[in-house]
């Protein structure tokens, strides 16, 4: 074990994990992970936090004396949390609720104290555990939520949340992007470049993730279940929209298609049931159709009055007197020679 890992783990007492799991021999193995799995989770967590805070600060945060037993009703999530609220529900948290009911909470959340009559702590990490604890507390008012609680500034808190959640597959592109965009909008970061540099992420990658928020509302609304709206879809739709947005008729047609796709996904008894991916492909196809039509129209308007078809290609002269060729297929050397002769013909005629 590395010296850095030893520093972080030195203050952790994992006995409660082993004792808690061994005490529930009748629990369903599908719900209860092994004690060794919990230990590995703790080690992975400490490694991630050391990467953004340094070994000493991570070790200080994860000390046992920082773990408090909290009334779930007195805990809230912080405003920049990147969880999909639509996935924080009894169905999606069922296994976690069963596990915490049986053995208690074995991996503490991470939070910071807050002043207020309604809440004592806000969590930086642990939305599903908080929801599960609140559900359990409805039947067992004595149930307590465990959390490492320590004063944390917003920047440190954001780094912790990002380090903990960036590797999780159960957080959607939309939730992650929303958290990033909110951090920029609230002034936590000066802009995308500042945020990318802070997180050690290429600015281009962050911009692609935030493509959601460069799209007009009409296109975003075509995906009513935002957790199913993928970042790469948003990026491709943005590229297409930028090519049609200046043409009013094309833009109107795209928005109309988006509204129809939204309807098909939200109707109680849809006549045309459609998945989010099918909606994405249909909307992208609509954009591509208009892009092609605009390109053809632009090509026609650029011809000054001379256009001639040859075998396999067409020659045109633009409104600036520049010749251009449009080839129907892969061009052979013979075809290129014909094109050169045609060019000589037209230039000779102008002389």
Return the biggest CA–CA distance within the chain.
Answer: 98
302: pLDDT strictly greater than 70: no
CA distance 310 to 9: 76
For residue 109, what are the β-bridge partners? 147
Residue 322 pLDDT: 67
Question: pLDDT confidence of 216, banded at 50, 70, 90?
Answer: very high
- Residue 295 structure tokens: 């390109």
Beta-sheet pairing, 145-149 with 67-70: antiparallel
What pLDDT, on a 0 to 100 scale, did the predictor assign at position 348?
64
In the block, which residue shows the tokens 């917003």? Answer: 154
Dist. CA 242–CA 251, nearest whole Å: 10
User: pLDDT tens digits for 100-158?
Assistant: 998 888 889 999 999 878 999 999 999 999 999 999 999 999 999 999 999 999 999 99
3-state SS track over the chain: CCHHHHHHHCCCCCHHHHHHHHCCCCCCCCCCCCHHHHHHHHHHHHHHHHHHHCHHHHHHHCCHHHEEEECHHHEEECCCCCCCHHHCCCCCCHHHHHHHHHHCCCCCEEEEECCCCCCCEEEEECHHHHHHHHHHHHHCCCCCEEEEECCCCHHHHHHHHHHHHCCCCCCCHHHHHHHHHHHHHCCCCCCHHHHHHHHCCCHHHHHHHHHHHHCCHHHHCCCCCHHHCCHHHHHHHHHHHHHHCCCHHHHHHHHHHHHHHHHHHHCCCCCCCCCHHHHHHHHHHHHHHHHHHHHHHHHHHCEEEEEEEECCEEEEEECCCCEEEEECCCCCHHHHHHHHHHHHHHHHHHC
> Which residues, in sequence order, are bridge partners of residue 324?
316
pLDDT, tens digit, 9 for 90 and up, residues 63-107: 888 899 999 999 999 988 876 666 788 988 999 999 899 888 888
Q: How far are the Cα atoms of 141, 202, 313 from residue 209, in angstroms, in the given order?
A: 41, 11, 41
pLDDT in tens, 320-349: 666 666 666 666 667 667 767 776 776 665
Closest CA to 38 of 54, 25, 60, 20: 20
- Please write the tens of the pLDDT for every residue from 236-283: 999 999 999 999 999 999 999 999 999 999 998 888 889 999 999 999
Structure tokens at 147: 């959390």
Residues 6+ apart with CB under 8 A from 191: 184
Beta bridge pairs of residue 121: 75, 113
pLDDT in tens, 37-57: 556 777 777 888 888 788 888
- Alpha-carbon distance of 302 to 252, in angstroms, equals 25
Whole-model pTM over 0.85: no
**Cα 213 from Cα 56, distance rounded (Å):** 37
Measuring CA to CA, which residue among 300, 316, 218 is closest to residue 261? 218
Give the CA distances from residue 323 to residues 189, 199, 299, 343, in Å, rounded to whole numbers and listed in that order. 50, 50, 12, 8
């Amino acid at each position: 074990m590395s010296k850095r890992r030893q520093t972080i783990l030195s203050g952790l007492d994992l006995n409660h994990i082993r004792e808690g799991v061994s005490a529930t021999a009748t629990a369903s193995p599908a719900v209860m992970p092994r004690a060794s799995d919990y230990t590995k989770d703790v080690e992975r967590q400490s490694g991630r936090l050391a990467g953004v805070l340094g070994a000493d600060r991570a070790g200080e945060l994860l000390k046992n004396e920082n773990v408090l037993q909290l009334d779930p009703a007195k805990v809230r999530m912080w405003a920049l949390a990147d969880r999909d609220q639509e996935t924080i529900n009894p169905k999606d948290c069922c296994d976690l609720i069963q596990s915490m009911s049986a053995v208690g909470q074995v991996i503490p959340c991470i939070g910071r104290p807050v002043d207020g009559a309604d809440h004592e702590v806000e969590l930086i990490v642990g939305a599903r555990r908080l929801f599960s604890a609140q559900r359990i507390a409805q039947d067992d008012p004595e149930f307590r939520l465990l959390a490492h609680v320590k004063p944390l500034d917003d920047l440190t808190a954001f780094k912790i949340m990002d380090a903990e959640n960036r590797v999780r597959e159960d957080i959607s592109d939309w939730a992650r992007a929303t958290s990033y965009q909110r951090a920029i909008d609230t002034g936590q970061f000066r802009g995308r470049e500042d945020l990318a540099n802070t997180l050690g992420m290429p600015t281009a990658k962050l911009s692609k993730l935030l493509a959601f928020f460069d799209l007009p509302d009409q296109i975003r609304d075509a995906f009513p279940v935002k957790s199913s709206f993928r970042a790469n879809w948003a990026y491709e739709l943005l590229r297409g929209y930028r090519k049609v947005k200046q043409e009013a008729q094309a833009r109107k047609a795209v928005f109309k298609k988006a509204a129809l796709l939204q309807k098909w996904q939200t109707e109680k008894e849809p006549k045309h049931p459609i998945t989010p991916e099918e909606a994405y492909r249909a909307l992208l196809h609509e954009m591509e159709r208009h892009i092609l039509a605009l390109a053809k129209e632009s090509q026609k308007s650029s011809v000054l009055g001379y256009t001639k078809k040859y075998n396999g290609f067409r020659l045109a002269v633009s409104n600036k007197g520049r010749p251009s060729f449009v080839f129907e297929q892969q061009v052979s050397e013979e075809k290129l020679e014909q094109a050169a002769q045609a060019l000589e013909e037209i230039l000779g005629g102008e002389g």
